[in-house]
Amino acid sequence: MRGFTLWFTGMSGAGKTTLSRMVEETLLERGMRVEVLDGDVIRNNLSQGLGFSKKDRDINIRRIGFVCHLLTRNDVVAIAAAISPYREIRSENRNLIKSYVEIFCKCPLDVLKERDPKGLYKKVEKGEIKQFTGIDDPYEEPLDAEIILETDKETVEQSFNKIIRTLELMNYIPPSGIEDEYTEEEEEKIKERLRSLGYI
């Protein structure tokens, strides 16, 4: 199997880590070589010492992109789960990696504040965290993501199935019969999006 990169983007709490781990498990079960680069883990290792200025955020995302490039080139499936707030840097990574699938975990801010699994939004409200993406620092939504997940409306399983089915339609992974779970309308929506992006 050839390598490719799945790039999860979205604000904190949108479901990037949960879904990336589910996809990792499934691809490993199918015998593929997979590596997950989680934004929090990278911050504590590869990008330790970087802050949250635009310059530092850009450096962090470029570093993750470069590692994904190396993994993809060696036929590993690289899964990046990082907020990656700026379109320009995501676009740079897309151009560098080539076999790149962007997954936008879309979720309204009020739902994210309610979920708040790490308590970060509460800290922002108390003024304990500054330059927080989506609050006082921008998050630029993707314009050309291959997969858009509405994680406030879909179950985790629906979002997961949408990812797997799209990868099958793009011929990155072999079919598993998951299409049986979709209505004709849902299947056509996925195909329509891939057609609009020139994949099928």
Binding residues for ATP: 10-17
Distances 80 to 24, 55, 77, 184 between C-alpha atoms, Å: 11, 19, 10, 30
Helix (H) / strand (E) element for 143: namely: none
Beta bridge partners of 104: 9, 148
List the Cα angle 14/58/163 in 5-degree steps: 35
| Identified catalytic residue from 84, 91, 99, 176 | 84
| Residue type present at position 167 | L
Residues 6 or more apart in contact with residue 84 via CB below 8 angstroms = 7, 9, 39, 61, 64, 90
Beta bridge partners of 137: 133
Q: Is there a contact between 165 and 178 (Cβ–Cβ < 8 Å)?
A: yes
Active site residue 84: yes
Active site amino acids:
84
